[in-house]
Amino acid sequence: MIIKESHQDVATKADGKEGSMRIFLYHPVIPGYPNARFPGVVLFSEIYQVTGPVARFARQIAGQGYIVAAPSSYHEFTGPEPLAYDVPGTDAGNEYKIKKTLAGYDEDSTLSIDTLLALPTCNGRIGATGMCLGGHLAFRCALDSRVSAAVTYFATDLHSATLGLGMKDDTLARCSEIKAELVMIHGTLDNHVPPEGRDLIRKTLREKGIIFSWYEPAGAQPTDKSSVGNFSTSPQLGIDQSQIFT
């Protein structure tokens, strides 16, 4: 599959503050079929924004026949460039994560979905995915009724409800609003979401009647930066995302 890469800068106004967010687009192209239409997927990154590994993941999804939109989550504080996988980059990402408001996160999701649906080549079906911070954001994005499926990898802060300014989010508490099918992927060695946190998420989803699948690969954990982007690739987990988002 040929992948065309571009970006769109969209206006933002969450919390009454005007700004701009860059959305990176990865678009499949079929030679000879310029009017081919594809489903869309919003891809949320970890705390480092759209890094090389995240872009690689986007290309993998696009290669399966999806238009991928990857927003720059920290546009309120910095440019669209990725943060470095080092101590200063990690500190900045963690700081921005709890300085950004829930209204800001939600506007990012809405604008990313709007951008996909505005494309004449999008067939109207939307999924969401992401890793770590992005896993939480993909879950939260599924609160939008336009999302029909979401795949989350190591979704952080979901069990503790500590996302965003004030570190008091309502994501899991609102999960009964989700109509999408979910796939939740953690790992038995997940050091951000402990066993009791994973149990809470799973129990809440069951109690609220959410349609979901749950995977905990043995020995998997998200902190090895050399494998960032690899833990999120479905072949390593035996999961075909093309079947999930279809």
Quick check: is 25 in a domain? yes
pTM of the entire predicted model: 0.91
For 78, the 3-state DSSP assignment is: coil
User: In the chain, what are the helix, strand and coil shares in percent, each to the nearest 5?
Assistant: 35, 25, 40
Whichever domain contains 155, its CATH number is 3.40.50.1820
163-190 average pLDDT score: 96
Instruction: Please list, in sequence order, all residues whose beta carbon lies within 8 angstroms of the beta carbon of residue 212, skipping any fewer than 6 positions away.
Output: 181, 182, 183, 184, 205
pLDDT in tens, 174-185: 999 999 999 999
Q: What is the DSSP letter of 246?
A: -
Q: Is the pLDDT of residue 229 over 50?
A: no
Q: Is the pLDDT of residue 244 over 90?
A: no
45-53 average pLDDT score: 96
Quick check: is 225 in a domain? no
Number of domains in the chain: 1
- pLDDT of the residue at 146: 98
Quick check: is 214 in a domain? no
Residue 18: which domain range?
A: 2-180
